[in-house]
Chains A and B, each alone.
Chain A
Amino acid sequence: SQKIEQNSEALNIQEGKTATLTCNYTNYSPAYLQWYRQDPGRGPVFLLLIRENEKEKRKERLKVTFDTTLKQSLFHITASQPADSATYLCALAPGTYKYIFGTGTRLKVLA
């Protein structure tokens, strides 16, 4: 069956360090993959999109990689700040309008 996995355990890191979050998928061939940030009680906010023919995408302190052989995307936040604390969701779009979301990983950046 089709599946997206994100680490359900919270990730705690020290301020200034790089946070790395993982998104693994099985039985998909996604055309592209997206990352969203969600704060408690609010809707997700789009961060980055990476296409299947792209290995890496950057935006300010954010970096996303996409390995279609490993069926994995990594999401990095460099020089992390307490304001980066949130839940981060990955979403796949296998060439249709139906986005498929992972369960999210909660990140906490400690001051």
Chain B
Amino acid sequence: DGGITQSPKYLFRKEGQNVTLSCEQNLNHDAMYWYRQDPGQGLRLIYYSQIVNDFQKGDIAEGYSVSREKKESFPLTVTSAQKNPTAFYLCASSIALETEAFFGQGTRLTVV
């Protein structure tokens, strides 16, 4: 089945630690995205990538980093510089402009 897979579903992190969220797609999509969702704030764009080996900052990139070494994979690292990392993180992909985004099931990150 084609789709987009995020792992893990739940993640706990101690303050001061970096953590990496996985996102893999087998839809052969060029564009991939990372969003953060907080209650009452909707989805906010962290990073996006239009093509392999290229990515751009979104609206809230501070404290996050990404890589796009393969078309299928777009991992997100939440660094210790992110002051309020507890949130629901969503990865998405799309084939091109004017097409829908396909979302993963999300990773809920909690800092303990």
Partner-B contacts on A (CB < 8 A) = 8, 31-32, 34, 41-46, 49, 51, 89, 91, 93, 95-104
Check if A89 sits within 8 Å of B100, measured CB to CB: no
Contact assessment for B103 and A45 in the assembled complex, using a CB-CB cutoff below 8 Å: yes
Asked whether A51 lies within 8 Å of B98 as measured between CB atoms, the reply is: yes
A43 touches B42 (CB 8 A): no
**Distance of A101 Cα from B6 Cα, bound (Å):** 20
Residue of B nearest to A51 (CB): B98
Q: Could you mark each residue 26-39 of chain B with 1 if its beta carbon is under 8 Å from any beta carbon of chain A, else 0?
A: 00000101010000
Distance between Cα atoms of A45 and B88 in the complex (Å)? 16
- Whether A32 lies near B98 (C-beta < 8 A) is yes
Name which of A91, A99, A102, A103 has the most chain B CB atoms within 10 A of its CB. Answer: A99
- Is B75 part of the binding interface, using a Cβ–Cβ cutoff of 8 Å? no
For A96, the chain B residues whose CB sits under 8 A away are: 97
Report A6 CB to chain B, min CB distance, Å: 8
Contact B104 A43 (CB under 8 A): yes
Q: CB distance B97 to A104 under 8 Å?
A: no
Q: Does B110 contact A (CB under 8 A)?
A: no
Contact of B101 among A95, A99, A103 (CB under 8 A): A99
Given contacts A51-B98, A97-B31, A97-B50, contact A43 B103 (CB under 8 A): yes
Known: A43-B106, A97-B48, A97-B97. A89 touches B58 (CB 8 A): no
Asked whether, in the complex, the Cβ of B103 is within 8 Å of the Cβ of A34, the reply is: no
- B21 within 8 A of partner (CB): no
Q: Which residue of A lies closest to B6 (CB)?
A: A43
Decide if A42 touches B105 in the complex (CB within 8 Å).
yes
The residues of B that contact A44 with a CB separation of less than 8 Å are 43, 90, 101, 103
